[in-house]
Amino acid sequence: MGLGGCIILIAVGAILTFATDWDMQGVNLDLVGIILMVVGLIGVSTFSSIARRRRVVMPPNTPVVEEERRHTTRRDGYSDGYGV
Task: Give residues with Cβ within 8 angstroms of 17, minimum separation 6.
Answer: 29, 30, 33, 34, 37
* 71 in a structural domain: no
Q: Which domain holds residue 43?
A: 3-54
Tally of domains in the chain: 1
pLDDT over 70 (residue 3): yes
Query: What is the per-residue pLDDT across 20-42, written as a single tens digit (0 to 9) for each?
Result: 888 889 999 999 999 999 999 99
Quote the distance between the C-alpha of residue 77 and its chain's center. Answer: 54
Decide: helix, strand or coil at residue 24: strand
36 lies in a domain? yes
Higher pLDDT: 5 or 2? It is: 5
Quick one: average pLDDT of 58-64?
Answer: 68
Q: What is the pTM of this model?
A: 0.60
Instruction: Give which of 47, 50, 49, 55 is closest to 3, Cα–Cα.
Output: 47
